[in-house]
Structure 1
């Protein structure tokens, strides 16, 4: 009976267009902003750094003495900008994020020449002039809006021969959460008031590359991989996935701040023998040739 009631409620929400939106994403990241660096980036920063080192290497050829204008889209806590600030000398940064909490963390962390703007990625890009930036970086966030529209706008605001660096999860990421999530929704349907649509993560490295080459970008380097987090208990695992932004949006569909919902997730991880979380990702550095 519980499953039937849950399915009925989900169908009703779908038919009445009760979907999560960007404001829910913003709230999710504001909620985890204080712990984001020490919980998620504590281990995942190495992949940001791989991408940023490649970006620095490619851009540095003949450009180090020039003034550089860098846009950090969905900047989070400012990790990418801090890294780049340590590798370039004459830089002006623009850090954009829809989450007030994340942007506040970035303001604390980035004590250099920077503008901080609370806005979603597409709105900011559409309000920006052509040929405004030398470098654009977007880490773990391009999937929260239409990636192809973002890439098209980035091509417009980037100068010719500018660089765009992106890291994002693949569609097959978090298989452990995907395994238990439908059951979690049905068990917790009383706490479901919105539906989260599937995020447009790339299916593969090749599909990721195609996003860019169709918008006059040349691939410089692309790399995919996975990172496995291991936990001693299901309680630790549940705390991790609800404290990192991994469920951003989905934690608005099923309110993960409700203890009963967390208990249901713990039980489902336990009953399925799940003690790991797998992040599958791809990053790329692309050169604009419009």
Structure 2
């Protein structure tokens, strides 16, 4: 379970450093833009962006859709303040709130979200809620992280526990869905809505980054406010972290540095007329 108050606090605290460390999130945003239908580009469409953060994707949407009106929502007021300084157009409005809690009054041609769905506590319910707010032939397009994200860290964490004789069920962060697992959630959420048929397309991609040290990797996570916000405990013993770092250094360092894998999932759900 995600602690939304803790999540909000962390994003507020790191809004000003987010852009300097969010290379993978920016890459995912660019991939989302590549998935968009060119039929929309010169149309006066309505767009809802969920988890706008510091406005990187919002800027791309403004460039791609010069006639669109955009509603950008984020949990963090600090992130929105940074975004407002980047995007100063009357056709863009910002809302600070939790999309899982707030009501959506209007319908949209496009609902888009980058690297945000992993923070939802009720993914099934939220996907259904968003899909209902699409106009006929509208699209719900989102990216999120998959189960192989930080796979090196998870393996080292598990091995460190074994080596030190720790048998808790703790983990170093969130557990993400596989492509197949998230597909099943989408199907389960949308199949009952038979009056609104849909087409689902999906893709996945692994991105690898390298850091000079394990600590630099941990710092990069902290600087974007994405530290563990689960309401679960994880091992914080100094001896444990020394063992974890030693294992990571030994197993996943090469000439480029410390290897970190990001598993990016992209889903596109489109309402159809059939």
Partner of 2:194: none
Q: Does 1:71 align with 2:48?
A: yes
Partner of 2:167: none
Partner of 1:38: 20
Shift of 1:255: 11
1: CA distance between counterparts of 2:136 and 2:172? 35
Q: Secondary structure at the match of 1:33?
A: coil
- The structure-2 alpha-carbon separation of the partners of 1:196 and 1:268, relative to structure 1 and needing over 3 Å to count, comes to closer
Shift of 1:267: 5.5
Partner of 2:265: 282
1: CA distance between counterparts of 2:57 and 2:18? 14
Shift of 1:98: 0.8
The answer to whether the 8 A contact 2:59-2:87 is kept is yes
The answer to whether the 8 A contact 2:173-2:228 is kept is no
Equivalent position to 1:120, from 98, 122, 127: 98
Partner of 2:35: 54
Partner of 1:203: 178
2: CA distance between counterparts of 1:179 and 1:136? 35
TM-score, structure 2 length as denominator? 0.78
Greater Cα shift, 44-53 or 106-115:
44-53
Equivalent position to 2:209, from 229, 241, 245: 229
The answer to whether the 8 A contact 1:147-1:200 is kept is no
Aligned residues: 249
Partner of 2:134: 158
The answer to whether the 8 A contact 1:82-1:110 is kept is yes
The answer to whether the 8 A contact 1:163-1:287 is kept is yes
The answer to whether the 8 A contact 1:224-1:283 is kept is yes
Where does 1:100-249 land on structure 2 (aligned, <5 Å)? 100-112=77-89, 113-124=91-102, 127-129=103-105, 132-145=107-120, 146-181=122-157, 199=174, 201-204=176-179, 206-214=180-188, 215=190, 216-219=197-200, 221-249=201-229
Q: Secondary structure at the match of 1:242?
A: helix
The answer to whether the 8 A contact 1:29-1:102 is kept is yes
Equivalent position to 2:59, from 82, 89, 96: 82
Where does 1:89-100 land on structure 2 (aligned, <5 Å)? 89-100=66-77
- The structure-2 alpha-carbon separation of the partners of 1:77 and 1:38, relative to structure 1 and needing over 3 Å to count, comes to same
Q: What are structure 2's unaligned runs of at least 5 residues?
A: 165-169, 191-196, 253-257
- The structure-2 alpha-carbon separation of the partners of 1:115 and 1:23, relative to structure 1 and needing over 3 Å to count, comes to same
2: CA distance between counterparts of 1:236 and 1:198? 17
Over aligned residues, Cα RMSD in angstroms?
Answer: 3.1
Q: Secondary structure at the match of 1:136?
A: strand
Structure with higher helix content: 1
